[in-house]
Amino acid sequence: MNFNNDLKAKTPARMKGARYMVNWRARVMTQDRKISEGHIYELLQSGVSILYSRALPINSPVNIEFYVNYKNEQVRIRAKTRVNYCMVRSNNDGAEIELKFTEIAQQERHTLNNVLQIFVNAKEFSLKK
């Protein structure tokens, strides 16, 4: 039995693709219907990474609402997501959570894609590929 291989098999895969550093506030509604604040620090094509006050179970549903600046306006984005990855921070200051989009309105998806394209065109700092 190889402990490292067993651990890798049980660890969920991180979302792939370019990650763009952002600094957005978010409202997060968890499965227990509690609404609280979160902080989005990465934007991906398939979801967002947030700092949150507590760990959430993998695959649990989460609704998220945040605003993006697009065409000099604050545009609201609301999405249904699932927890893809969760890591408790070592200083017990909450958790880093990846949320994968599962449902998002077509117009809001369009706006988000345009924001991502602006980041790409501006050669914004991509954290990872």
Q: Cβ of 116: how many Cβ atoms within 10 Å?
A: 18
* Average pLDDT of the residues of the chain: 88
- 64: domain range? 20-121
- State the pTM of this model: 0.84
Q: Is residue 97 part of a domain?
A: yes
Tokens 């969760």: give the residue. Answer: 86
Q: Is residue 67 part of a domain?
A: yes
Beta-ladder partners of 100: 47, 82
CATH code of the domain in which 28 resides? 2.40.10.220
What backbone phi and psi angles, to 5 degrees, belong to 84? -100, -30
Res 66: pLDDT: 98
Res 2: pLDDT: 57
Number of domains making up the chain = 1
